[in-house]
Amino acid sequence: MFRNLVIWAMVLMTLCFAVPFACAQAKIVDAEGHQWWQHAVFYEIYPRSFADSNNDGIGDLKGITSKMDYLKDLGVDAIWMTPCYPSPQIDFGYDVSDYENIDPMYGTLKDFDRLEADGQKRGIQIIMDFVMNHSSDQHQWFIDSRSSRTSTHRNWYVWHDGKGPGQPPNNWQSTFGHSAWTLDPKTNQYYYHYFYPEQPDLNWRNPAVEKAMFDVTRWWYDRGVAGFRLDAVDTLFEDPDLRDNPILPGKNKFGDPNMEDKYNVKLPEVHEVLRDLRKVADQHNAVLIGETWTKDVSELKQYYGEHSNELQMPMDFLFTTVNKVSAPEFRRQIAAVDSAGGWPVYVLSNHDIVRSYNRYGDGQHNDAIAKLMAGLYLSLRGTPIMYYGEEIGMENIDPKRKEDVKDPIGKIGWPQEKGRDGERTPMQWTSDANAGFTQGTPWLPVPPSYKTHNVANEQQDPNSILQFYRHLLALRHQNRALLDGDYVPLNENDPDVLSYLRRYKDQSVLVVLNMSSQARTIDLDLASKGINSKKAQTLLTTMGNEGKERTLPQMSLEPFSVYIG
């Protein structure tokens, strides 16, 4: 829809001041106390789907290593890889059978070391996914635990007698459907699993479990890992009295009664573990990212810790709950998290969430909206976590038949729940067969959109989503106001246009986002913010025929357009 993308990188700017990002990253803490992860752009990689080096249809570590130059050119500073530990793959790696190795389908520890070394050469940090709540039932700890009631590792998991013959200890349900208790016939006790039966919960009330898991993090830190994304942190503890959860009206997508997870999720002991885990991370100058699903910002704030001594980066999933392009809704979310006190962490989508291209697209302006959403969350105060393929406009392709579903959630809950396969499809590198992901048969089908939305094509198109991401990330890295500036909202009652300043000392960047399918003209309320300039120097925009300067305070905007100046 848009004409040629206009990009003006200004050397001398009155509103913006550039600093080399490399200087900020070279130090753990800069002169103003910012840590490396506050200036970084994170990028989630689903290893099965990123790049396949041996053509077996499954992505691997060598494949990721081969794309390091692409990631560097894009503007990525850290990659978070979903689990690549040895696993039976019941939940695609989130059922770990060995925390200190690499699954052969992805490669070897030597391959990991090469990946980490190549990342360091390019200034790209490696973040591992730490599955804290549970292990695989094939882990040696659990194999020993279920061997007898007196085994060494018996108390490393949560075992209880049933209420009676054929009756589990209480009414708790698995988030993946049905009872959260499975009877083990050998010892005639039930073990607890918040997820699949093949993912028994570790007993975090046992100090030996805590020590073993903390030692896992130390082991990976010693291999060069820069931090961990902590999986399912809310579910580490359960009520020791096993009180039943309250039943709510209706049924869920698995046909079970709706339930409030009052006694097995978000218990206060979680924060004690996070504080202790943070101490270990601080000893290695590492960062902890939390999978923190919260009902509001006040709950999110708890994960930073009362003294900023828990998670440095709890994810703001409230941002993803705004499933429409709405200036008022995003304005409300941004204001709430910005006032919470911690460093915001913004996410548009991930391996468990339908891709943002689908959620926000209207079927007509999808590419423009993809740029709009990038212009939003990559220009805010905080650290963004991108999801692979987001930068080229990858979309979901959900299974049409139950027999095509790979994700066990979809198999259990079909057809109400189709699973997460759609957001995990192979990365689209070229317009060749299988999108250049593999010469074999890909483990999931490639969306038909790969013919137009792929890295090779978009690198040649100056108006592509990919090029917009690259220019925006370059600007973000160079501009001190975008890195560290305060968020200052403008025109807060505008129903269609979201606008704000990023202000750092005497420098300001203006961000204007038209979230309407119609052209809009606005009068920006800059004077009340102390800005009396009548002109803005254009840094980046999706609107064609833009000059180096724009007259203020009035501004005309194309549908779903971005202006940064």
pLDDT per residue rounded down to tens, the chain (565 residues): 333 433 333 332 333 333 333 333 334 557 888 999 999 999 999 999 999 999 999 999 999 999 999 999 999 999 999 999 999 999 999 999 999 999 999 999 999 999 999 999 999 999 999 999 999 999 999 999 999 999 999 999 999 999 999 999 999 999 999 999 999 999 999 999 999 999 999 999 999 999 999 999 999 999 999 999 999 999 999 999 999 999 999 999 999 999 999 999 999 999 999 999 999 999 999 999 999 999 999 999 999 999 999 999 999 999 999 999 999 999 999 999 988 889 999 999 999 999 999 999 999 999 999 999 999 999 999 999 999 999 999 999 999 999 999 998 899 899 999 999 999 999 999 999 999 999 999 999 999 999 999 999 999 999 999 999 999 999 999 999 999 999 999 999 999 999 999 999 999 999 999 999 999 999 999 999 999 889 999 999 999 877 788 999 999 999 999 999 9
Residue 377 has φ and ψ, to the nearest 5°, of -80, -15
Q: What is the pLDDT of residue 561?
A: 98
CB 175 within 8 A of CB 168: no
pLDDT at 33: 86
Contact between 366 and 357 under an 8 Å Cβ cutoff? The reply is yes
- Active site residue: 231, 395, 407, 496, which one? 231
What CA–CA distance (Å, rounded) separates 490 from 511?
A: 9
Q: For the chain, which domains are there?
A: 33-135+209-476 (3.20.20.80), 140-192 (3.90.400.10)
pLDDT value at position 22? 33
Q: Scanning the structure block, which residue is given the tokens 């180096």?
A: 548
Residue (of 208, 207, 180) closest to 195 by Cα position:
180
User: Distance between CA 44 and CA 387 in Å, rounded?
Assistant: 5
Instruction: Please state, in angstroms and as integers, the Cα–Cα distance from residue 42 to each residue in 313, 365, 540, following that order.
Output: 11, 27, 21
Tokens of 471: 């220019």
Return the number of other C-beta atoms located less than 10 Å from residue 391's C-beta.
25
Contact 565, 509 (CB under 8 A): yes
User: In the prediction, which pLDDT does 6 show?
Assistant: 38
* DSSP secondary structure, 158-176, as one string: -EE--SBTTB-SS--B-TT
In order of 19, 182, 462, the CA distances from 15 in angstroms are: 14, 62, 26
- Cα–Cα distance between 192 and 443 in angstroms, integer? 31
161 in active site: no
- DSSP 3-state of 387: strand
In angstroms, the CA 520 to CA 74 distance is 31
> Position 234: which residue type?
D
| pLDDT score for 28 | 55
Q: Strand runs (DSSP E) across 165-220, as ranges?
A: 181-184, 189-192
Please say whether the beta carbons of 366 and 425 come within 8 A: no
Question: Could you tell me the two tokens for 498?
Answer: 């979201």
Contact 184, 176 (CB under 8 A): no
Bond preceding residue 415 cis, omega within 30 of 0:
yes
Cα-Cα end-to-end distance for the chain: 22
Going by C-alpha positions, the residue among 399, 401, 323, 402 that lies closest to residue 358 is 323
- What pLDDT score was predicted for residue 31? 80
8 A C-beta contact, residue 194 and residue 181: no
Whether 131 and 231 have beta carbons less than 8 Å apart is answered as: yes
pLDDT of residue 302: 96
Q: Looking at residue 106, what is its pLDDT?
A: 98
Select from 52, 68, 133 the least CA-distant residue to 99: 133
Partners of residue 386 on adjacent β-strands = 43
Task: State which amino acid sits at residue 315.
Answer: M
Q: Is the pTM of this model over 0.85?
A: yes
Q: Please identify which residue in the block is written with the tokens 């980490």.
A: 116
Say how far apart CA 120 and CA 106 lie, in whole Å: 20
Does the active-site annotation cover 30?
Answer: no
Beta-carbon contacts of 458 under 8 Å, excluding residues fewer than 6 positions away, are: 392, 464, 465, 466, 467
The pLDDT value given to residue 15: 35
pLDDT at 565: 96
Q: For tokens 């030597």, name the residue.
A: 110
